[in-house]
Amino acid sequence: MKKIGFVGLGIMGKPMAKNLLKAGYEVTVYDIRPEPIAELVAAGAKAAKSPGDAAAGAEVVITMLPNSPHVKEAILGKGGVIEGVKPGTIVVDMSSIAPSASQEISARLEPKGVPMLDAPVSGGEPKAVDATLAIMVGGPEETFKEVKDILSVMGASVTHVGAIGSGNVTKLANQIIVALNIAAVSEALVLATKAGVSPERVFEAIKGGLAGSTVMNAKVPMILAGNFKPGFRIELHIKDLMNAMDTAHELGVPIPLSAQVLEMMQALKTDGKASNDHSGLVQFYEGLARIQVRR
């Protein structure tokens, strides 16, 4: 079994690294905070003093960090992964970042004989714990094959979607659709509620038809209950939509509806709601219409 270096032990990274330990892998971990390192060491991991230290001796280095700048710093910065790797080490960044950042980092690793995959996940903390994440992977097919077993330890589905950056493009497509589907349900239910129709009856009447969606089934019960406990926080969806905007601008693809939902989420952030579940987007509409969608 391959030796693994794991950098980033946050809400997602910690349970993912634990699942690798449970599967029997030798894992060397690093985080900027000492607490999660200690927790992982208690679970059988070795502690590293830097990302580069976690990479030294590892055959596969996994990074799981908040956004593009953190990944660039951890891989390319002082004491970074790039200082510990040797030719043949595989770097798998599982963070959700800008596709262009994945490509930049890969271009810096390639001359060192270090192939890279971008492998962002969807599913959130519960699926990280249960090892049922959906993992979308970009990068060379042969590199993908070498680490597929390792990724399968953390996810229920592991899909190779294309060249480096493609994993994050797929993740952005996913996040655009989820954001707009939440907005769709919000716009419709606030209108129906203000028209005096029970939003619950509307939900029951339409969920089996063409308007049905996983977002509708997962989020409308939360909206009807006024329960915006995350789940997936608005501030994280803002990050993803910012990366989608940057990518769209680089490519010359207008994404006007995503831009508008991003602004709605920004307005909620200003209103102190950044830590609510993204289904709390309905509160933007509720505020405008002076009504609440409730059971």
**Chain residues 111-150 in contact with a second copy, contact rule CB under 8 A:** 122-123, 134, 136, 138
Contacts of a second copy in 247-286 (CB under 8 A): 247-248, 251-258, 260-261, 285
Measured from the CB of residue 117, what is the shortest distance to a second copy in angstroms? 14
Applying the rule CB under 8 A, the residues between 19 and 58 that interact with a second copy are none
Query: Is 171 assigned a catalytic role?
Result: yes
> 140, 130 in Cβ contact below 8 A?
no
Catalytic residue among 14, 18, 127, 171: 171
In terms of CB distance, is 29 or 264 closer to a second copy?
A: 264
Interface with a second copy (CB under 8 A), residue total 71
- Residues in 164-223 that interact with a second copy by CB under 8 A: 165-166, 169-170, 172-174, 176-181, 183-185, 187-192, 194-198, 201-202, 204-206, 208-216, 218
Question: How far apart are alpha carbons 40 and 155 in whole angstroms?
Answer: 19
Q: Do the beta carbons of residue 144 and residue 117 sit within 8 Å?
A: yes
CB of residue 94 to a second copy, shortest distance in Å: 15
Which residues touch 79 (CB under 8 Å, ≥6 apart)?
A: 50, 51, 52, 53
Cβ closest to a second copy, residue 41 vs residue 173:
173
* HEC letters along 74-128: HHHCCCCHHHHCCCCCEEEECCCCCHHHHHHHHHHHHHHCCCEEECCEECHHHHH
With the C-alpha atoms ordered 160, 27, 43, 96, is the resulting torsion angle positive or negative?
Answer: negative
288 binds a second copy (CB under 8 A): yes
In the complex, what is the shortest distance from the CB of residue 15 to a second copy, in angstroms, rounded to a whole number?
Answer: 18
Cα–Cα distance, 228 to 164 (Å, whole number): 35
- The catalytic residues are 171
